[in-house]
A = this chain, B = another copy of it.
Amino acid sequence: MAVVRRNTWQRESVREALDLESGFVSAQTLHATLRDAGSPIGLATVYRTLADLAAAGDADSLQSPEGESLYRACNSASHHHHLICRKCGKTVEIAADDVEAWAQRVAAENGFTDAHHIVDVFGLCGACSAAAALG
């Protein structure tokens, strides 16, 4: 991987497409979206760019319960978690200072150091809940 980043329309495309998404998307989905929009961008580039964005802190990434890697644009560089609709993918960023503290405390109590944590909440958003109630 290169140390110096160049600006290419491909990178811009991925960044833009990711910004337009309201929630987490997989690399595959984003690639399909771009292709549908007429972009000839390659799948490998989408994967690479998303990984770069995540590494640079410009995107959040998480694993869906099915094991796919999902990405989402994120402007708040600070640490935070997500509330995700498992139906439509809508995502709400949630600050969780209590949880941060809890995680550190629990780790320390058990002699663990260098603790990181994965905290995400999946559910049905208001709209999808309503839709489900009708069905």
A residues sitting closer than 8 Å to B (CB atoms) are 63, 65, 67, 69, 83, 85, 92, 94, 96, 98-99, 102-103, 106-107, 110-126, 129
CA distance in complex: A124, B111 (Å) = 8
Q: Is the Cβ of A96 less than 8 Å from the Cβ of B85?
A: no
Known: A92-B110, A99-B99. A117 touches B119 (CB 8 A): yes
Quick one: given A112-B129, A114-B129, are A106 and B94 in contact (CB under 8 Å)? yes
Contact in complex: A123, B116 (CB < 8 Å): yes
A118:B117 contact, CB within 8 angstroms: no
In the complex where A67-B69, A85-B112, A129-B112 touch, is A106 in contact with B121 (Cβ < 8 A)? Answer: yes
**B106 engages A102 (CB within 8 Å):** no
Q: Which residues of B contact A94 (CB under 8 A)?
A: 106, 110
Please pick, from B63, B83, B106, the residue contacting A107 in the complex, using a CB distance under 8 A.
B83
> By the criterion CB–CB under 8 Å, are A125 and B99 in contact?
no
Instruction: Flag if A115 contacts B122 (CB, 8 Å).
Output: yes
Neighbour of A106 across the interface among B67, B83, B117, CB < 8 A:
B83
